[in-house]
Amino acid sequence: DTEVTQTPKHLVMGMTNKKSLKCEQHMGHRAMYWYKQKAKKPPELMFVYSYEKLSINESVPSRFSPECPNSSLLNLHLHALQPEDSALYLCASRLVGTLDTQYFGPGTRLTVL
Amino acid sequence: QQPVQSPQAVILREGEDAVINCSSSKALYSVHWYRQKHGEAPVFLMILLKGGEQKGHDKISASFNEKKQQSSLYLTASQLSYSGTYFCGTELTDSWGKFQFGAGTQVVVTP
């Protein structure tokens, strides 16, 4: 089973709202990723968690706040977003320190009004 | 450092072949190839590791040239289902876990 699930599938929010994206996997992967993907562009790395600790933060604005409460779950808390933050947000997971690839979830399509 | 991917787009008739290239200016630890269809998540195709390996997945294969720090994806006898955007994702030798994706190659296979 190589399934990564993400909720919600779609999210529309105003610039003053607070919302969260959720990602879950039960493959025993201890590395989890958040990516942002704009239309016709490649996925852009935002955060990497390794063993529930933040290991990579690609200078993402503080209005995006990641959280990894346990080895299966990854959240992305959103606050005071801008319209340019509208994008597809992809979660991925992977076995740490291996030559295995990362497996992507279906993504959350976010629209900021 | 984002890898350089070429070409940007290719149009094929069913049964034709194509090559997509991905190169890095820094030493690569691994190259991962994905295909993404419109509105969907990227789907893993194969992983190449340093050492000049060549892998295959159906009629899609890939190679890794360590000297040139370049990987190539070969689409052979293309099928309609091969349409989509192909991305290479690279990891550098000193940055496990930090993926950088190429800009993508849009492949359109026509009947």
Name beta bridge partners: A66. Answer: A76
Q: What is the pLDDT of residue B48?
A: 87
Average pLDDT over residues B101-109: 97
Cβ atoms of residues B37 and B45 within 8 Å: no
String of DSSP letters for A12-38: EE-TT-EEEEEEEE-S---EEEEEEE-
Q: What angle do CA A113, A85, A110 make, to 5 degrees?
A: 65
Bridge-based pairing of strands A73-79 and B70-75 is unpaired
Cβ atoms of residues B79 and B109 within 8 Å: yes
More confident residue, B39 or B5: B5
* Closest of B83, B3, B90 to residue B40, by C-alpha: B83
Q: Measure CB to CB from residue B97 to each of A43, A50, A90 and give the nearest one.
A: A50
Pick among B85, B94, B99, B100 to test the A interface (most A CBs inside 10 A)? B99
Q: What is the pLDDT of residue A23?
A: 98
**Residue B64 to residue B73: CA distance in whole angstroms:** 9
Q: What is the pLDDT of residue B57?
A: 67
More confident residue, B97 or A85: A85
More confident residue, A66 or B92: A66
Interchain CB contact of B3 with A (< 8 Å) = no
Interchain CB contact of A54 with B (< 8 Å) = no
Residue B57 tokens read as: 């997945």
Cβ atoms of residues B91 and B98 within 8 Å: yes
Task: Calculate how close chain A gets to B110, using CA atoms only, in Å.
Answer: 20
Residue A72 tokens read as: 């299966």
Chain B positions touching A41 (Cβ under 8 A) are 103-104
Which residues, including other chains, have CB under 8 Å from residue A3's CB and lie 6 or more apart? Answer: A25, A26, A27, A103
Computed on alpha carbons and rounded to an integer, the radius of gyration of chain B in Å comes to 13
Q: Mean pLDDT by 10-residue block, N- to C-terminus, for chain A (113 residues)?
A: 89 93 94 95 95 91 95 96 96 83 94 95
Exposed/middle/buried for residue B82 (C-beta within 10 Å: 0-12, 13-18, 19+): buried
Q: What is the pLDDT of residue B35?
A: 96
Q: What is the pLDDT of residue B66?
A: 85
Pick among A94, A104, A108, A109 to test the B interface (most B CBs inside 10 A)? A104
Interchain CB contact of B101 with A (< 8 Å) = yes
**Residue B92 to residue B86: CA distance in whole angstroms:** 20
pLDDT digits (tens, 9 = 90+) for B28-83: 888 999 999 998 999 999 888 876 666 666 789 998 888 889 999 999 999 999 99
Task: Calculate how close chain B gets to A41, using CA atoms only, in Å.
Answer: 6
Q: What is the pLDDT of residue B42?
A: 94
Chain B residue nearest residue A54, CA to CA: B97
pLDDT of B19 strictly over 70: yes
